[in-house]
Structures are given as structure tokens and as C-alpha cells.
Amino acid sequence: MNALAATNRNFKLASRLLGLDSKLEKSLLIPFREIKVECTIPKDDGTLASFVGFRVQHDNARGPMKGGIRYHPEVEPDEVNALAQLMTWKTAVAKIPYGGAKGGIGCDPSQLSISELERLTRVFTQKIHDLIGIHTDVPAPDMGTGPQTMAWILDEYSKFHGHSPAVVTGKPIDLGGSLGRDAATGRGVLFATEALLNEHGKSISGQRFAIQGFGNVGSWAARLISEKGGKIVAVSDVTGAIKNKNGIDIMSLLEHAEENRGIKGFDGADSTDPDSILVEDCDILVPAALGGVINRQNANEIKAKFIIEGANHPTDPEADEILKKNGVVILPDIYANSGGVTVSYFEWVQNIQGFMWDEEKVNKELKSYMTRGFKDLKEMCMTHSCDLRMGAFTLGINRVAQATIIRGWGS
């Protein structure tokens, strides 16, 4: 089942629990706007290259649409649609005043020079500048993009609309980026894990973690969890996988990964099969890489008691059912990895106010939002007698539905 089919399935199940009528259901599901543009740039060798850019703006009932822009060879409409819809529910679960959007360009950034990436970003911005905006649609970094990409978008957008730092988030600090944004998704995973374990009478200290993915989210989660006394027993990234039942020294691993562009060859742990990371003997599994990695083929072999979804859509619906029967507790992506968009919201607020916060305030506010979000999610679980995933979906969808009805759009 692809990402869009799985997302639509979860929406339908939550809609049924909420008792939404079919007209409102349809209104909530159909995207506000889908944009597809051709981006042609001169390459460094003088030849022309064309790329296809997408932006799906899903819903704006609760505020400006919000979502990342990814540069990846496999950016395609269904995936962008699914991720835009997930952002609508995620921002509602986090109780921040946004709707959902997502975008991307079908390209391989590793095959493009810095100047080619800049030209591509500026052409894409020229094509969509009148469809994004501070109070319309606020892009952010995603796979294959980062603070520099956001700086180019800001600069190009400002040529048409004047200096507008709040038009994108995830910017470099010197252009109005927020302190704490880099660690935000990983820190949100930490706070979400703490909230869940607290519910079960446990703490992070002494728990054994396996983390799939050692990019921004996985590396920050590993670092912060180990600082809290959690034992990281297995880690993987695109270069390979390692394990050490006595716990991996995360600060040494971070240094190694920085110097060697990956975890492969780290001498403080044993090398292992990357596919085995998900079924490693641990208490808590954190998938923090790609979607669809937990499926019916490996779900029965998972030994973790808790799964914290740091990635978007890492567990497919068939695996969900298997894991539920096996008593595994899954903390869903639309809550667990919402730390990034929450601090993006703080960045947007700081830009609009023209007043920057210190990092302590950012982290304190993030903890407050994540803690309250878990409490709200649990209340929905109790109301509808459902698991955490359906609790999160019903919470997000109900908030968007209420905003839609109050505006008079749902009739």
C-alpha cells in the first residue's frame, strides 16, 4: 500500500469514529490546490536541463499551509499529496495555527553542483512565488534541502514581495532562523518518548534503543536520549549498521559520522546487517529514516515493546495490525515527529514579531507543546476506545473539521 492509500485509509477510519458526514469528509480530503511546474535551468557545462516541481496545498481552514520542500529523484504526485495531507493533521495535533502542504522537485541533488541547485531553487521560487506567502503557504526544508535552500527561496521571494523572513522556516540563523530548530524534530522525539514512557510508569534511563537512520532526526534523538541515560544498542544509516549490547558511545559516533560521512567503520560497535536493525533486541525502536520500512514481512520479528515513529509513515497498515496483536505500542508520526514543525511555528512567530527567542525558551515551549499534545491524544483514545494512531488522527481531523464548519465551508 503506497503512502497516499495508507493515509486515506487512516483518514477514513478516523472519520468513521468521529461520525463525519460524507460531504464534509470529501471536503477535508480534497487538496485546496495542486501545483506542477517545469523548471528549466542552464547547467554548468552550458546545456539545458528540465525538472518538474510540485507543491500540494492541502488545507488552510486553521491557518496558512505549512510543509517541506524535498529534492529527490522519486518525488511524485501521490507521495507529495499524502505528505501534504499528513501535515494538515500533524499541525492540528500539535495545536499550531497552520494547515498542510508539501512540495518538491524531481532531481538528484547529489548530481547537481551548488550553483545548479541555486539556479533550480530560484527558478522554482519564480514559478510559485505568488502562490506561497507569510499568511498563505510557508515552505520548510525536507529531504535533500536545508537552510541554504531556504535562504535562496527567501532571497528570490523578497525580490517580488520585499524582505519577508517569515515566508520560509528552517533558515540560517543569520537570516532569521530560530535557535533550536536544527535539533527540534529529534528533541520532539525525546519529549514524546518521555510522555509515553511516563504513562507506562517508566523513564528513558536504562531503556535500550535501536535507531534506524542517523540523519538529522536520528542523530539528535540518539544524542538527547543518551544524555538522559537511555542506552543506544543499535544504529543504522545509508552506509551500514552497527550494534553494541552494552551501549554505543553516541558522542564518539557523531564525531566518526561527521568525519567519514556515515557510521560505517565505527570501532566502538560491531557491524551488522542494516535490515536487522528493525528486529534488533531492544525495548524501544525509533525508525527515523524512510517510509514503509516496517511491513508484514518483518512486523512479527520486531522485539521492541514500543515504536516511536521519527520518520513519516514508517509503518504500513498491515504491520500496524500485526504489531497491535503482538502488544507493541506505536507512537504515531503525526505526533512523535511534530517537534520540527512546532519549532518552525516558533520561528515564524519570531520573524513576524521581529523579536528572537533564546534557545532555552524555544526548548521549554517545545516541551510544553509536546506534553500537552500527548495529553490531548490520550483523551481522544479514551473517548473513542482506540489506539494511539487513531487517537492522533481523530484529534487532528476533528480540529480541522471544527474549523471548517465554523468558517461555513462544511455545509
66 known member of a binding site: yes
Is residue 370 within 8 A of residue 192, CB to CB? The reply is yes
Q: Percentage of the chain with pLDDT > 70?
A: 99
| 90 annotated as a binding-site residue | yes
178 assigned binding-site residue: no
102, 171, 231, 243: the catalytic one is 102
Determine if residue 26 is labeled as part of a ligand binding site.
Answer: no
pLDDT band at 411 (very low <50, low <70, confident <90, very high): low
Say what the pTM is.
0.94
Is 110 a known ligand-binding residue?
no
Give the residue among 169, 92, 181, 155 at the shortest CA–CA distance from 348: 169
Q: Domains of the chain by range and CATH? A: 31-164 (3.40.50.10860), 183-335 (3.40.50.720)
Q: Which parts of 192-305 are beta strand (E)?
A: 208-212, 231-237, 240-243, 270-272, 284-287
Counting residues of the chain whose pLDDT is more than 90, the rounded percentage is 90
Average pLDDT on 133-143 reads 95
pLDDT tens readout for residues 201-248: 999 999 999 999 998 999 999 999 999 999 999 999 989 999 999 999
Provide mean pLDDT across the span 157-161.
97
Strand partners, 67: 139
Instruction: Decide if 245 is catalytic.
Output: no
Quickly list H helices, 94-128: 114-128
The answer for residues whose C-beta is within 8 angstroms of residue 22's C-beta and 6 or more apart is none
Average pLDDT over residues 355-359: 97
pLDDT tens digits along 33-50 = 999 999 999 999 999 999
